[in-house]
Amino acid sequence: MKRIQIIVVIVGLLFSLTAIAGDKQASKVMNKIEALPRDLEIQLALSALPPRLRDNSTVYILNPDKGFEVARKGSNGFHSFVARTGDDTFRGSWPLTKYRDDILYPISFDQAGVKAQMRVFFDAAEMQAKGTPPGELKKIIKDRYKSGYYKAPERAGISYMLSPILRTYYNPEESGEESDSVPTMNYPHVMYYAPNVSNEEIGGGKLGGMYPFVIMPGPHGYFIQPIDLTERAKINKEYEEMLARLCKIKDVWCLPKEKGSY
């Protein structure tokens, strides 16, 4: 009888250890995002905006355990933050099997964008922080787009992405092998809300070029207007120190060697 009890205890211990290991493995699969240094994250978020709008804008930082939190409340109607899981993550039918820890997506919105586009970023960050599995999160967001839960902007407006660094999905609309490829780009640009406008309708260019084009066609689409090379060089110069700090944190956050490459 004693022997049976000992075996039961051993089996119970083994089960507990297996469960703990499973929890740790699940946590590893969740791939918790590591927070950026606070001052660096704020600077990176503000780099999305033109200088005249930075001082009075609302800035958020990402708490990996909760989602986005206000770091500084502003008064000019613009909001900026650094997404670590962007809205492009939820495009296309390719499977989202893990949360990446190398995405850098500095972006800002005016009031119209705050009510429409920004909600997707904040909902995704909150659900990710709560432990929602990647595939489930993508399905939830895609379903919300389809159902109209996320409304199109109520008026014309603007989203600045003037930061000298952007690391996100290159071609998320597609479902092929390169749909989830992630490059680091030096591509400051301005985005204008373009609900239900296609790239073909405007005779648009393509990513990497200097002509306007459309991304994310549908209710939450954007016109992209690249910044010219002279202005881009000024932005790069202004943020040399910030770029160096990011490069030291992760190799993939080092900009391509050749200036102007994407």
- pTM confidence score: 0.85
> Digits of tens for pLDDT over the chain (262 positions)?
445 444 443 434 444 434 444 443 434 444 578 999 999 999 999 999 999 999 999 999 999 999 999 999 999 999 999 999 999 999 988 999 999 999 999 999 999 999 999 999 999 999 999 999 999 999 999 999 999 999 999 999 999 999 999 999 988 887 655 566 899 999 999 999 999 998 899 888 887 778 899 998 889 999 999 999 999 999 999 999 999 999 999 999 999 876 545 5
88, 172 contact by CB (below 8 A) = yes
Per-residue model confidence (pLDDT) at position 179: 63
Residue 209 and residue 195: Cα distance in Å, rounded? 22
- Closest C-alpha among 76, 80, 74 to residue 43: 80
Cβ contacts of 70-79, under 8 Å, gap ≥ 24: 71/38, 71/41, 71/42, 72/42, 77/110, 77/111, 78/49, 78/53, 78/108, 78/109, 78/110, 78/160, 79/108, 79/109, 79/113, 79/114, 79/118
Per-residue model confidence (pLDDT) at position 258: 61
Tokens describing residue 250: 């992760």
78, 49 contact by CB (below 8 A) = yes
Convert 35-49 to b/e letters by CB count within 10 Å (16 or more is b): ebeeeebbbbbbbbb
Tokens describing residue 189: 């640009």
Task: Give backbone dihedrals phi and psi of 13, rounded to 5 degrees, phi first.
Answer: -65, -45
